Amino acid sequence: MEAFVYVIHYNSFHKAADALFLSQPSVSARIQSLERELGAKLFQREGRHFSLTEKGKQFLPYARQILQSYKKGKQQLRQMNAVPDELRLGCTVSASTYILPELLPAFRRKYREVPVKLETASSEAILEKLLAKEIDVGLVRSISHPDIDAVRLYEDPIRLFVYAGHPFASRSGVTVEEVGRQPLVFFECGSLDWMKIHRLFEALDHPPSIAMHIDNLETAKKLVLRGTGISFLPELCAREEMREGRLIPIDIPSLSGLSLGTEVVTRKGEGTGLRDRFMELCLELDLKAYPTEMAARA
């Protein structure tokens, strides 16, 4: 089919052969093969001259369309397989600290030739950088925007954590009233789930004993480890301490189901190539297994 279209384009078998890097007999043989497949003569030959038959004229626009579609498909596959000079990632502090150490080594094993540039910021700032094409992929808290595509990566349960030796450490569960009487290190992250915790305490006869409001997750965790108070923390941040038995998760039935979601975001319609592969790798890694496994060991 390509030989047929090239002969028409150049109006010459010889020039078509040169353009296709074939011999002239090879071009003629290919056209004859196409004619046999179609069951119709495409050219009327008169010595060294030739012209299209009526059936050849009817078939020509279809042949051109088929070749154009083939080239577009081939170009699309090449773009998807193309590896950029670097992968520009933006993520929240918690994702950078607790999720990327699991993702990036696996990414590096697959794409050793691709350097990764990482920027850490708030979810809102990452969204702005993504829309401005300053980064390729973002890992953010649940967020919505008409110009982005988002895939949920991980749901991180929020649990009450106490230090080893705390009176709650040996108990299977406690009530909100009991928690409200303990000194609390309250980590604020601005999510709706944290607001649910606030509302539960508002229903108490007495206000909770909040010793400190902290906006840094690691600081809140270390204060609990040092016995300053107890705290509601995302489970993923405490997995090492759970494994070592230094932090103990405590169940509160009325707070079950609370979690912080992390999403992988890209610009709408542009989640192709290496960005698609990164997203697939994110979903392949079973992040949910880590905290569960650590809790079982603890």
Domain ranges of the chain: 2-81, 86-298
pLDDT at 190: 54
Topology given in CATH for the domain delimited by 2-81: Arc Repressor Mutant, subunit A (1.10.10)
Residues 215/254/297/285 CA torsion (nearest 10 deg):
-70
Nearest to 230 by CA among 212, 253, 256, 218: 212
pLDDT at 286: 58
Topology given in CATH for the domain delimited by 86-298: D-Maltodextrin-Binding Protein; domain 2 (3.40.190)
pLDDT in tens, the chain (298 residues): 899 998 888 888 888 888 888 898 898 899 999 999 999 999 888 877 888 999 989 999 999 999 888 888 877 666 555 545 678 899 998 888 888 888 888 888 888 888 889 999 988 899 999 999 899 899 998 877 888 888 888 888 888 999 999 999 988 778 888 888 899 898 876 554 567 777 777 777 777 888 888 888 899 999 999 999 999 898 888 989 999 999 999 988 777 777 888 888 888 876 556 667 777 777 676 555 443 333 333 3
pLDDT at 81: 54
pLDDT at 79: 56
